[in-house]
Amino acid sequence: MLVIWQNYQSDILSGLKITLTASLIALVCSLIIGTFMAIFQVSKTKWLKRIGNIYVNLFRNLPLLIVVMFLFVVMPLYGIQFDGITAGTIGLTLYTSAFIADTVRAGIEGIPKGQMEAGLASGLSYSQVMRLIVLPQAFKIVIPPLGNQFINLVKNSSILAMVTGADLMYQGDLVASATFNTIGTYTLIGLIYLALTLPLSYLMKYLEVRLAKA
Q: Average pLDDT by consecutive 10-residue portion of the chain (214 residues)?
A: 84 94 96 96 93 96 96 94 94 96 93 84 85 88 88 94 91 92 93 92 81 66
pLDDT number for residue 189: 94
How much is the pLDDT for 213? 66
What per-residue confidence (pLDDT) applies to 214? 61
- Burial letters 101-130, b for 16+ CB under 10 A, else e: bbbbbebbeebeeeebeebeeeebeeeebb
The enclosing H or E element of 49 equals: helix 46-60
160 CB-near residues (< 8 Å, 6+ apart): 18, 19, 22, 68, 84, 85, 88, 89, 166, 167, 169, 170
Q: So what's the pLDDT on residue 210?
A: 75
pLDDT of residue 154: 93
Q: How far apart are CA 49 and CA 42, in angstroms?
A: 6
CATH number of the CATH domain containing 85: 1.10.3720.10
What's the domain count of the chain? Answer: 1
**Domain encompassing residue 192:** 1-213
